[in-house]
């Protein structure tokens, strides 16, 4: 199963080690599902995590990006998508379309279409629940979204 992770999932995984977003990322890095990226999405990961406001996360973000580079599958979108309210999120959808993703996992559902025919768009809690994951006592950095 292929999954595309929105950049905010990576940020939340760094902010809240042991949280739901971190659990999603760890499960992907363990090989329980395939993490898919495109060149545009990979560039966004680096751009956002490299911003000064996230400097205190570097001790977690740099090893995370290294692990992702080794594990993630790269795809080249062939079609433009204009379904998200935030233009940058269309790059996430383009990657999902290109790789045939089953899921897009995001902490910001409001920017994505409610019902997208190509993949389920869900938050970390929903994704983990649908994968049969038990996560008692684990909190989400993006709870309520």
Residues 39-43 have a mean pLDDT of 98
**Measured distance CA(28)–CA(40) in Å, rounded:** 20
Has residue 64 got a pLDDT over 60? yes
Tokens 């062939």 identify what position?
Answer: 78
73 CB-near residues (< 8 Å, 6+ apart): 2, 34, 35, 36, 37, 99
Q: What is the pLDDT of residue 141?
A: 55
Average pLDDT over residues 51-68: 97
Q: Cβ(40)–Cβ(91) under 8 Å? A: yes
Q: Considering the domain 2-130 in this protein, what is its CATH number?
A: 3.40.50.1010
The reported pLDDT for the residue numbered 134 is 74
């Amino acid at each position: 199963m292929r999954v595309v992770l929105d950049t905010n999932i990576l940020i939340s995984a760094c902010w809240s080690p042991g949280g739901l977003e971190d659990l999603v990322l760890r499960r992907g890095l363990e090989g329980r599902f395939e993490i898919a990226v495109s060149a545009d999405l990979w560039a966004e990961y680096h751009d956002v995590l490299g911003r000064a406001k996230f400097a205190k996360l570097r001790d977690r973000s740099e090893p995370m990006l290294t692990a992702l580079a080794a594990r993630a599958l790269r795809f080249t979108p062939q079609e433009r998508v204009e379904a998200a309210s935030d233009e940058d999120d269309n790059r996430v959808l383009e990657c999902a379309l290109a790789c045939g993703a089953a899921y897009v996992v995001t902490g910001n559902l409001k920017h994505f279409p409610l019902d997208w025919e190509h993949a389920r768009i869900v938050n970390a809690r929903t994704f983990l629940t649908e994968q049969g994951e038990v996560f008692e006592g684990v909190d989400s950095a993006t709870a309520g979204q």
